[in-house]
Amino acid sequence: MEAAPLVLVRAKGPGGVPCPDATAGPRSAGSSTGSDHRESAAAPGSPAGRANRYRERVIDATLECLGELGLAATTVDDIARRAGCSRATVYRVFPGGRDAVLAAVVETEAARCMADVAVRMGAATTAQDVVIEGVVGACRWIAGNQALAKIMADEPGVVASWLAFEREGRLLGHAARWAVPFLRRWLAGRDALRVAEWAARLVFVYGLYGPATHDPTDEVWVRHLVGTFVTPGIEMLRGTGDLTPIVPGPAQAARASDQNDQNDQSG
């Protein structure tokens, strides 16, 4: 059985959206085996609505189990106990069992990570800052990932296996394509994709396996790194050395409108 790609898994890192019901304790002594002792407390709704609520509980419970027990030791029974439901409920919501749960964890946490980083990148006002904010934001997210920290400490080969050969290319490609729209104000087409891939590689190299002498969560250090090695490449791609936006953002559009008004008045 192949392990799920847990390079994007975290527990309760910065900007997380923890589920209030994710930390349920063991069953009470009076509860019957195989019953869902919290099912009666769920709000009435459709079967799909109940399944979605259990899905969130199971995913967050899995993150907590991974952070405490590690990947190899986490079982469906552990997940069910932490989620406050039966083993049968886990399989009903995730028919593929443990592998399906882990895949859902990766998908959910990847979306949360991208949402966190997108806020930083979207606020950037230069191409260099887009890269800096993306690298710093992603590396801080990784550093606050309790589940990933546990796996890297106890089972580093699991993550390494997902960063080898063709898998690395797929992960880098996915991350780069996601970041492209943030760079298109300054770079077009393939050039934006190339810079996005550079940024993704910095996150993979420094965020997961970076030397202890460098801190990829330190904005000052990342700014030096990007300014020294990445920005010159961006300038070469533009061919002009001028990194003003090729697609104006709201601020630039407003300034241009003000300038036009002034020119009209002076005319």
pLDDT confidence tier of residue 244, bands split at 50, 70 and 90: low
Can you give the pLDDT at residue 178? Answer: 95
pLDDT tens column, 123-155: 999 999 999 999 999 999 999 989 988 988 898
For the segment 196-209, the average pLDDT, to the nearest whole number, is: 90
pLDDT tens column, 71-86: 999 999 999 999 999 9
pLDDT tens column, 95-108: 999 999 999 998 88
SS (H, E, C) the chain: CCCCCHHHCCCCCCCCCCCCCCCCCCCCCCCCCCCCCCHHHCCCCCHHHHHHHHHHHHHHHHHHHHHHHCCCCCCHHHHHHHHCCCHHHHHHHCCCCHHHHHHHHHHHHHHHHHHHHHHHHHCCCCHHHHHHHHHHHHHHHHHCCHHHHHHHHHCHHHHHHCCCHHHHHHHHHHHHHHHHHHHCCCCCHHHHHHHHHHHHHHHHHHHHHCCCCCCCCCHHHHHHHHHHHHHHHHHHHHCCCCCCCCCCCHHHHHHHHHHHHHHHHHC
Residue 157 main-chain phi, psi, to 5 deg: -65, -25
Average the pLDDT over each of 14-28, 111-125, 171-185 and give the range with the smallest value.
Answer: 14-28
Can you give the pLDDT at residue 7? Answer: 35
Can you give the pLDDT at residue 238? Answer: 74
**CATH architecture of the domain formed by 6-27+38-102:** Orthogonal Bundle (1.10)
pLDDT confidence tier of residue 161, bands split at 50, 70 and 90: confident
Decide which of 238 and 217 is more confident.
217
CATH 1.10.10.60 residue window(s) in the chain? 6-27+38-102
Tell me the C-alpha distance between 67 and 9, whole Å: 10
User: Does residue 20 have a pLDDT over 80?
Assistant: no
Can you give the pLDDT at residue 167? Answer: 73
Tell me the C-alpha distance between 176 and 190, whole Å: 11
For the segment 214-227, the average pLDDT, to the nearest whole number, is: 95
Q: Is 222 exposed, middle or buried (CB count within 10 Å of its CB: 0-12, 13-18, 19+)?
A: buried
Can you give the pLDDT at residue 62? Answer: 97
SS (H, E, C) 209-237: HCCCCCCCCCHHHHHHHHHHHHHHHHHHH
Can you give the pLDDT at residue 33? Answer: 38
- pTM attached to this predicted model: 0.69
Can you give the pLDDT at residue 188? Answer: 83
Can you give the pLDDT at residue 189? Answer: 79
* % of the chain with per-residue pLDDT over 90: 47
* Contacts with 172 (C-beta within 8 Å, 6 or more apart), sequence order: 197, 200, 201, 204
Tell me the C-alpha distance between 161 and 78, whole Å: 25
* % of the chain with per-residue pLDDT over 70: 70
